[in-house]
Structure 1
Amino acid sequence: MVEAGHARSALERASLLDLAPGARVAVLVRQGAELQGESLARAEERLMARLQAVGGTLSRIEPAMDEDLLEAFERQAAQDAPELVIIAREPRGRLTRLLGDTPEKLARHGRVPVLVTRLPAEAPYRRVLVGIDYSENAREALELALRLTPPEAGPLDVLHCYDTSYALVLHQEGASAKQMVDYYRRRASEADAGLRAFLQPYRDQGTDLHALVRSGDPQAELEHAVREQETELLVVGKHGGHGLMHALLGSVAEACLRRAECDVLVVPQAVSRH
């Protein structure tokens, strides 16, 4: 569900993606929105031309003004089977800060990858960062990022954030300074080896990947890496979540949607099965 100005932004970004053969793209548009204007028409024409060149299709989801967005999305998605949903970031009011806006709700409940645009769509993505936790969901996120990134973009940044919270237990149990240092070094070494092993199959195929290993809070480290690497697109997997706290606070992926200063692609679990 996108206002006219937002629809233009989403279409412009979609037209710049490195689309795979047979790609299916859906654009969410609020029913009754004015989808006119020369710049919007050009963006839609560019996207259609790109999709036609790869044998792809474009679908437009237009829920009624009084229709629940998620219900409309699920209904249309079941019919068109889109591989990617693109939606621009909306202005946020007080209520949406608490309960989540349209992109966050789609990312939370949807079964299709959601690309939320924030930056002007002026060129294909060149600086892409993928958050990795070694899960199958993370592998799907990495592979989708590779599909959407042009080969000439250069190395893809891949960040893994590891946990060192057990250090607090060691400290409370009276661990020596040497034991603490050994623990931190061991965790760093394990994380580095784990990321190398995770990425090796892609490197064996000649994929250019830049590995980043950090310790601490994943959300904070992703935000820091986005600024440090001048990231244009952040790609994160979304794990399932339940309960009141998740409903209010959401996952790391949803937090990135709220706070990241770049476009964000959220990849749900097992997208290949939907």
Structure 2
Amino acid sequence: MSMYGKILLAIDLSEESDQLIEKTRAIADRNTAELHLIHVIEPLSFAYGGDVPMDLTTIQDQLDEHARSKLEQYAAKLEYPIAGMHIVSGHTETEIHRIAEELDISLIIVGSHGRHGLALLLGSTANSVLHGATCDVLAVRVKES
């Protein structure tokens, strides 16, 4: 019986995301897990407090398409069957938790940057995912490129 039957890999599509490939594949292989990928796009309106004087739909659609293309490239690099690719809009931690619960995920894998100073005080995505998750979370230390 595998310990982690369903894994959700949360990636930000940065250059550092490639550092998650080997560990994710190894864990998925060892558990013969169903692997899902998620990328969360924070809506442009969040950056402007929701009060934007123009229609951002076209720009948001371009961001969605870019994310889909990058996620497909990342999935190919994993060389492991992908059960689902989820590109969602919203607050990163909230959406990762929502999808993890909907899919009954047993392990969330997320990259963690070594934060210092103000970024450490404000917290990180990995920290927020950890504290709100109802399943195990593996934070993989990634080095800045």
Compute the TM-score of the two structures, normalised by the length of structure 1: 0.46
- Aligned alpha-carbon RMSD (Å): 2.5
Shift of 1:229: 1.1
Partner residue, 2:3: 124
Partner residue, 2:39: 160
Paired with 1:208 and 1:158, the residues of 2 have a C-alpha distance of 11
Aligned with 2:60 (options 158, 161, 184): 184
Aligned with 1:230 (options 101, 104, 112): 104
Q: 1:224 to 1:133 in 2, by over 3 A?
A: same
Q: Tell whether 2:95 aligns with 1:216.
A: no
Q: How does 1:232-271 map onto structure 2 within 5 Å?
A: 232-244=106-118, 246-247=120-121, 249-270=122-143
Shift of 1:231: 0.6
Paired with 1:232 and 1:184, the residues of 2 have a C-alpha distance of 31
Instruction: Please give the secondary structure, in 2, of the residue aligned with 1:149.
Output: helix
Shift of 1:199: 2.0
Stretches of structure 2 lacking an aligned partner (at least 5 in a row): none
Shift of 1:142: 3.5
Instruction: Please give the secondary structure, in 2, of the residue aligned with 1:234.
Output: strand
How high is the sequence identity, in percent, across the aligned residues?
Answer: 24
Compute the TM-score of the two structures, normalised by the length of structure 2: 0.81
Paired with 1:235 and 1:258, the residues of 2 have a C-alpha distance of 14
Partner residue, 1:69: none
Please say which structure displays the higher CA radius of gyration: 1
Shift of 1:244: 4.2
Aligned with 1:141 (options 17, 20, 26): 20
RCO comparison, higher one (Cα < 8 Å, 6+): 2
Paired with 1:152 and 1:267, the residues of 2 have a C-alpha distance of 18
Aligned with 1:150 (options 5, 12, 29): 29
Shift of 1:226: 1.1
Stretches of structure 1 lacking an aligned partner (at least 5 in a row): 1-121
Shift of 1:184: 2.6
1:163-220 deviation digits (Å, cap 9, x = unpaired): 3225748953x32xxx433233222212111211222233xx4x20121111121111
Paired with 1:142 and 1:237, the residues of 2 have a C-alpha distance of 11
1:65-111 deviation digits (Å, cap 9, x = unpaired): xxxxxxxxxxxxxxxxxxxxxxxxxxxxxxxxxxxxxxxxxxxxxxx
Q: How does 1:1-274 map onto structure 2 within 5 Å?
A: 123-150=2-29, 153-165=32-44, 168=48, 172=52, 174-175=53-54, 179-202=55-78, 205=79, 207-209=80-82, 210-244=84-118, 246-247=120-121, 249-270=122-143
Paired with 1:137 and 1:182, the residues of 2 have a C-alpha distance of 28
CA contact (8 A) 2:21 2:77 kept: no
Aligned pairs, number: 141
